Amino acid sequence: MPTSAFAEWRHDRDWRAEMKAKRARGEKLDSEIPSTLRRCVCGDVFDEWKPAESYPHCAHITAGQAANGTHR
């Protein structure tokens, strides 16, 4: 059974190899792909590009921004 340090090293090695392979294939990394999912102050997750999902949360978000002073 590998030690935790060895297991951590193997995990890091495999992760780096996977990232290098993605770059070689011309793919973007997961962190480079933008997401349109947002979390409302009420706790729901919605897709901001889908009006039917985002409109109900506009009032929540605006009220949250007004409460913490970030609404302009």
Can you give the pLDDT at residue 22? Answer: 93
H helical segments located in the chain: 4-24, 51-68
Question: Does pLDDT of 64 surpass 90?
Answer: no
pTM, entire model: 0.46
What is the per-residue pLDDT across 34-57, written as a single tens digit (0 to 9) for each? 888 888 888 888 888 888 888 888
Return d(Cα 72, Cα 55) in angstroms, integer: 19
- 5-9, 16-20, 43-47, 56-60: range with lowest mean pLDDT: 56-60
pLDDT at 18: 95
